[in-house]
Amino acid sequence: MRAPIPTVTLPSGITVPALGQGTWNMGESAATARDEITSLKTGLDLGMTLIDTAEMYADGGSEEIVGKAIEGRRDEVFLVSKVYPANASRKGAAEACERSLKRLNTDRIDLYLLHWRGNYPLEETVEAFEGLKAAGKIEAWGVSNFDLADMDELLSVPNGGNVAANQVLYNLGRRGIEYDLLPWCQERSIPIMAYSPIEQGRLLHHPELIRLAKTYQATPAQIALAFLLERDNVIAIPKSSNPQRVEENRGSIDVDITDEDWAVLDAVFPPPSRKKSLEML
C-alpha cells in the first residue's frame, strides 16, 4: 500500500502536498512540450497537485505548458506562480498577473510570489498583492529568495504578516537556511518551498547517496527528497519532464530512513554551524 503524500498547512488553513512539481526550464522547446505536459499530468494523477511556475521561466512558456497540463483539472491543482521584481509595483504586478492568468488559462492563482527582491519598496509590492487578493485574482501571496533580514523587514510593513510562503534554494547540499531562516519560518508557520531539491541532478552522483539508495532499494533522488520530506513545514518541488522520473519522485514518500542513516547524512552533508548568506541559483 503506497503511503499518502504528507501535507503542509498554509497560514490560511489550506493544506497542500509536501511534494509538488517544479517547472523551471519547461516551455523552452516545442519538441519537449508533449513530454512536459504528460509529466505534469502524471504528477497530478499521483497526488502531486502543487505546481510551481513563474513568468520568468521560458518568458512565460512554462506557464503555457502548465495551463495545458491542468486543462479540465484546474480545481485539483494548487497553482503557484511568480512575478519579476521589475514588475512588482502596484500597476506592474496587476498587469503581470493578468498576463500570467492568460497563459495559465485560469481565473486565479493560488499563491503568487515575488521572485526575488527588487527596487520597489516591499510596502508597495504587498499593497499590490493585497489588491490582487481583494480582486480574486490570487488567493494568497508570498516571496522567494528572501533571507531572514528580508523576512523581518517584510513583517514590519502593513499587511506583511499575510505572507504565505518563502521559496528558497534548499537541499542536502545547501542547508544554510537551517541555521536561522528555517526555524524562524517554522515558528511562525510560514512554509518553506524548497526549489532545486536535488540540485538540478548534481546530488545524484554523490557516492554516499548512491550507497544509501542501494541500502533502501531506492534511488539517490528519492533519498534527497526524503531528506526534505522529513522537515516540518517544507514543500519540495522537483522538476521532471520524464513521467518515469515523476513516478520515482512520488516513491520518495515510501523511503523510511533510520536514525543511524540520518546521522550518516548529517556527517556527509553537515548542517550549518554559523550564519550563511542565502544561496540562490
Active-site annotation, residues: 57
Cα separation values, 72 from 17, 29, 49, 56, 241, Å: 20, 24, 14, 25, 20
User: CA torsion angle for 237, 241, 246, 248 (degrees, to 10)?
Assistant: -110
Q: How do the residues of the chain divide into helix, strand and coil, expressed in percent and rounded to 5?
A: 45, 15, 40
CB distance 69 to 45 below 8 Å: no
Reported for 147-155, long-range contacts at CB under 8 A and 24+ positions apart, including other chains, are 147/181, 147/277, 147/278, 148/180, 148/181, 148/184, 150/117, 151/181, 151/184, 151/185, 151/190, 153/122, 154/122, 154/126
Cα separation values, 95 from 44, 98, 125, 156, 189, Å: 29, 5, 13, 26, 30
All cell numbers assigned to 242:
520524464
Q: What is the CA radius of gyration of the chain?
A: 18
* Coil/strand/helix, residue 78: strand
